[in-house]
């Protein structure tokens, strides 16, 4: 089976959007909100639709949807923005890459057919998870998210 690897320059054809604006409940030692500062904020459904439609009109091929996390490692505003993400996919056909945060089975099921790429850090050390990422989680929580997304 032949595998195809596609790569894209980030700007202007694959811009990054923060669905939490500059908010992150963790403010962890991993990034301390640093990456959020360079992303275009789009917190509400309306903002997300507006910025992604603008990207599409300016010949973007895709969009990275990212943002800060809650104290449990779930991406802020992801679940409430699902209908907007689906609408973006249906209306524009943009490639949607999502930084997921932790994902349970239900959310993984809801992401099917909406996103093209799920992206998440795979941290293999419990101490790092707790001390660097500031999460009360374990390697098993990361493995569970990967399994949920894979299924």
User: Residue 139 in contact with residue 124, Cβ under 8 Å?
Assistant: yes
Q: Using alpha carbons only, what angle is made at residue 130 by residues 126 and 132, rounded to the nearest 5 degrees?
A: 105
7, pLDDT greater than 80:
no
Instruction: Give domain status of residue 118, yes or no.
Output: yes
Residue 11 forms part of a structural domain: no
Domain-embedded: residue 30: yes
Q: To which residue do tokens 């999502």 refer?
A: 98
Where in the sequence is the domain holding 36, given as residue range(s)? 16-150
Asked if the structure places residue 90 within a domain, the reply is: yes
| Domain count for the chain | 1
The pLDDT of residue 69 is: 95
Bridge partner list, 65: 17, 98
pTM score: 0.91
Asked if the structure places residue 106 within a domain, the reply is yes
- Residue 74 belongs to some domain of the structure: yes
pLDDT digits (tens, 9 = 90+) for 14-34: 999 999 999 998 988 788 887
- pLDDT tens digit string along 62-108? 999 999 999 999 999 999 999 999 999 999 999 999 999 999 999 99
Contacts of 6 (CB under 8 A, 6+ apart): none
Could you give the 3-state DSSP secondary structure of residue 146? helix
88 touches 49 (CB < 8 A): yes
Domain CATH code at residue 122: 3.20.20.70
32, 84, 121 from 74: Cα distances, Å: 16, 18, 13
Query: Would residue 77 count as lying in a domain?
Result: yes
């Amino acid at each position: 089976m032949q595998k195809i690897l596609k790569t894209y320059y980030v700007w202007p054809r694959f811009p990054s959007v923060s669905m939490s604006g500059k908010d992150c409940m963790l403010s962890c030692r991993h990034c301390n909100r640093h990456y959020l500062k360079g992303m275009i904020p789009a917190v509400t459904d309306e903002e997300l639709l507006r910025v992604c439609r603008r990207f599409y009109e300016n010949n973007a091929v895709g969009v990275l949807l990212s943002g800060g996390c809650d104290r449990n490692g779930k991406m802020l505003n992801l679940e409430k923005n699902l209908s907007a993400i689906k609408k973006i996919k249906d209306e524009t056909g943009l490639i949607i890459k999502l930084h997921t945060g932790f994902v349970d089975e239900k959310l993984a099921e809801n992401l099917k057919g909406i996103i093209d790429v799920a992206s998440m850090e795979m941290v293999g050390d419990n101490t790092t998870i707790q001390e660097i990422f500031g999460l009360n989680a374990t390697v098993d929580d990361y493995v569970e998210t990967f399994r949920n997304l894979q299924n």
